[in-house]
């Protein structure tokens, strides 16, 4: 692993509804990296935290929802490589959860919303999402290396191992 990569977590909360079937909680990013995009809840792992502890903290900070560590299920990893700006590189642990407490609410960082798992707003998300989100939504465990193009937005390559 490249030690310059920031350790990050993403946590996908799922629910079942009669109207739309399976839904996933995501949110409109209101500040910082990804501003204006629909993103997954998550963020940096703080020093001394496990990925699970970081996922619990980030979900609560970004949505007000409380998820217990024992309800998190690892879904894989993604290494994001930004050759044009290596300081953006991320080493990410992915989680799924089907149990939590509370209702999602707007925070300074995220406006959360439930999206049908079969109809995600890919045009409003990071372009790489369409490459790996279907695997996550299908329940697969996967590891991926995603290299981002020189514009720091579009995808140069995706490698699943």
Q: What is the tally of structural domains in the chain?
A: 1
Q: Which CATH number is 104's domain given?
A: 3.90.79.10
Q: Rounded to an integer, what distance in angstroms lies between the CA atom of residue 32 and that of residue 156?
A: 23
Q: Is residue 1 part of a domain?
A: no
Q: Is residue 123 part of a domain?
A: yes
- Residue whose C-alpha is closest to residue 5's, from 111, 79, 68: 79
Q: Is residue 144 part of a domain?
A: no
pLDDT tens string, the chain, 161 residues long: the values are 445 689 999 999 999 999 889 999 999 999 988 899 999 999 999 999 999 999 999 999 999 999 999 999 999 999 999 999 999 999 999 999 999 999 999 999 999 999 999 999 999 999 999 999 999 999 999 999 999 999 999 999 999 98
DSSP string over 21-33: EEEEEEEEE-SST
Q: What pTM was estimated for this model as a whole?
A: 0.94
DSSP string over 80-138: EE-TT-GGG-EEEEEEEES--BS-----SSEEEEEEETTS--GGGS-TTHHHHHHHHHT
Q: Is residue 107 part of a domain?
A: yes
Q: Is residue 153 part of a domain?
A: no
HSE (side-chain half, CA atoms, 13 Å) at 34: 22
Q: Is residue 16 part of a domain?
A: yes
Residue 35, domain extent: 6-77+91-139
């Amino acid at each position: 692993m490249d030690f310059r990569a920031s350790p990050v977590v993403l946590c996908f909360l799922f629910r079942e509804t009669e109207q739309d079937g399976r839904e996933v909680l995501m949110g409109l990013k209101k500040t910082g990296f990804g501003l204006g995009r629909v993103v997954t809840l998550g963020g940096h792992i703080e020093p001394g935290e496990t990925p699970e502890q970081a996922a619990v903290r980030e979900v609560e900070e970004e949505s007000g929802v409380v998820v217990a560590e024992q309800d998190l299920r690892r879904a894989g990893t993604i290494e994001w490589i930004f050759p044009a700006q290596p300081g953006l590189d991320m080493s990410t642990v992915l989680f799924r959860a089907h149990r939590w407490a509370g209702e999602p609410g707007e925070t300074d960082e995220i406006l959360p919303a439930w999206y049908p798992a079969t109809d995600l707003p890919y045009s409003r998300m990071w372009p790489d999402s369409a490459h790996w989100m279907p695997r996550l939504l299908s329940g697969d465990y996967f590891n991926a290396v995603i290299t981002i193009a020189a514009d720091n937005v579009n995808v140069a390559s995706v490698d699943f191992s």
